[in-house]
Amino acid sequence: MTRNVVVTGMGVVSPIGADIKAYWDGLSSGKSGVIRREYTLGENLSLTLPTAPVDGLETRIANLGRELMRADRFSQLAILAADEAIENAGLEIDDETGGRTACIVGTGIGGQTTFDNGYHAMLLEGKRPHPLTILKIIINAPASHMSIRYGARGPAFAISSACATGAHSIGVCADLIRNGSADVGLAGASEAVLSYGSLACWKAMHILAGETCRPFSKNRNGLVIGEGAGVLVLEEEERARKRGANILARVAGFGMNADGKDMINPAVEGAAGALSLAMDGVTVNDPHSVYVNAHGTGTLMNDPTESKAIRSVFGAGADELIVSSTKSMHGHLLGAAGGIESIAAILALREGVVPPTINYDEPDPDCDLNYAPNKAVERKLDLAVSNSFAFGGLNAVVAFAKV
């Protein structure tokens, strides 16, 4: 018997809104979460650059409880998103269902703030490392905290595939449910790397935008790093229907592969292959009703590569469908990107509104699709696809269908 997987809850912490309602308000109004900010470490190290932080979470984090107060920020953001997703889903996890509940939650990098502060204290100030350092930095920390907090005792682990982490986590969790390893799961990712050391390393790669993120625009010059988390509640469809859950979308397809070519440069064949796998078995009657939430980093290489990949999979339909990069608003959340962008895709599907690609002011002949420039577009949608293509050539694409 085929087990279908549906989305019954969503939770988000993003630079343009720290819950689902605020996030959608931000997405649909073209809000920018990018600001220029100074990051310091100790008294002598400082770096100022555009980033997309999440401010004003102090009270919510303080209310998470004693154990999470001592966790790294990437775990705290993940739990804030998961709390909202569970509440949104009306999900009750008891002793019996807990054993069938998965937590597949990843991160691209992990406890970077803890690393930064720890190394600074140890190497520059001669202090001893804090004894909880390891528990803070391990990338499975969010998955572990969730399993403890909610009593979820099914499969629980972190996936890490740089910028494809969130999409891999959602797709793999859906597969676990489809294959019978779990009936319900928390799936997504978090990232919190806005610290001096991490940003200095990103800057050293020479791929950060000088001012802001301009995906698919000819004058684009790089990405802006953001922080946040996005978590979905995925559920076997029959179970969801029996408990009267509000079904937000169906996981219609998932494709993953690797370029096998280059650590930095993306490959059209790899991206197209993952997208094609996600679309395998998905019927598209009208390409006009398809929305692709693009990886759209705003780098020189990604955007034309991704555009070509979309065109190669959809053929003539590529001129009918609509694409946007919400990274233009919330920045690049690295591992968490696929989490919050899947949520953007599902919200667009439900609301019939495509969030714009903001900061788009100069067409590029190499990026020749409809990118919903600068203003949200009302459109009846049947399918929303979230693309994630990571450094290291790891690709993951999730497709969500209207229910």
Partner 1 sequence: MAEIEPTLLEIIKDHAVGLVGAPTRETQIADLGIDSFSIVEIIYEVEEKLSVEVPFNANENPFGEMKTVGDLIDALTELIGK
User: Per the structure block, which two tokens stand in for 248?
Assistant: 């937000």
For partner 1, give the closer residue by CB, 13 or 68. Answer: 68
Q: Does 91 bind partner 1 (CB under 8 A)?
A: no
For partner 1, give the closer residue by CB, 134 or 205. Answer: 134
Which DSSP symbol is given to 124?
Answer: I
Q: How many chain residues are in contact with partner 1, going by CB under 8 A?
A: 8
From 66-74, 193-201, 355-363, 382-390, span contacting partner 1 (CB under 8 A): 66-74
Catalytic one among 145, 168, 295, 330? 295
The answer to whether 378 touches 385, Cβ cutoff 8 Å, is: no
Q: Cα(376)–Cα(33) distance, rounded to whole angstroms?
A: 16
Specify whether 163 is catalytic. yes
Instruction: Kindly tell me which residue out of 66, 123, 204, 283 binds partner 1, with binding defined by CB under 8 A.
Output: 66
Site string for partner 1, 109-148 (x = CB under 8 A): -------------------x-xxx--x-------------
Q: Cα(209)–Cα(211) distance, rounded to whole angstroms?
A: 6
Q: Please, what is the minimum distance in Å from the beta carbon of residue 127 to partner 1?
A: 9
C-alpha of 36 from chain center: 22
Q: Please, what is the minimum distance in Å from the beta carbon of residue 131 to partner 1?
A: 4
Specify whether 295 is catalytic. yes
User: Per the structure block, which two tokens stand in for 67?
Assistant: 């154990």
> What is the SS3 assignment for 337?
helix
DSSP code string of 238-284: HHHHHTT----EEEEEEEEEE--S-SSS--HHHHHHHHHHHHTT---
Specify whether 332 is catalytic. yes
The answer to whether 388 touches 292, Cβ cutoff 8 Å, is: no
From 64-72, 85-93, 277-285, 287-295, span contacting partner 1 (CB under 8 A): 64-72
Q: Does 13 bind partner 1 (CB under 8 A)?
A: no
Catalytic one among 103, 145, 163, 367? 163
Which residues face 231 on adjacent strands?
Answer: 11, 188
Q: Cα(284)–Cα(279) distance, rounded to whole angstroms?
A: 9
For partner 1, give the closer residue by CB, 66 or 206. Answer: 66
Residue carrying the six token digits 């978590």: 231
For partner 1, give the closer residue by CB, 66 or 242. Answer: 66
From 65-73, 100-108, 243-251, 360-368, span contacting partner 1 (CB under 8 A): 65-73
The answer to whether 330 touches 157, Cβ cutoff 8 Å, is: no
Nearest CA to 10 out of 284, 342, 243 is that of 342
Instruction: Kindly tell me which residue out of 70, 203, 261, 380 binds partner 1, with binding defined by CB under 8 A.
Output: 70
Instruction: Kindly tell me which residue out of 55, 67, 87, 286 binds partner 1, with binding defined by CB under 8 A.
Output: 67
Amino acid at 14: S
Element (H, E) at 134: helix 133-137
Q: Please, what is the minimum distance in Å from the beta carbon of residue 111 to partner 1?
A: 15
For partner 1, give the closer residue by CB, 145 or 220. Answer: 145
The answer to whether 342 touches 396, Cβ cutoff 8 Å, is: no
Q: Please, what is the minimum distance in Å from the beta carbon of residue 141 to partner 1?
A: 12
> What is the SS3 assignment for 98?
helix
Q: Please, what is the minimum distance in Å from the beta carbon of residue 89 to partner 1?
A: 28
Question: Which residues are marked as active site?
Answer: 163, 295, 332
Residues that bind partner 1 (CB under 8 A): 66-67, 70, 128, 130-132, 135
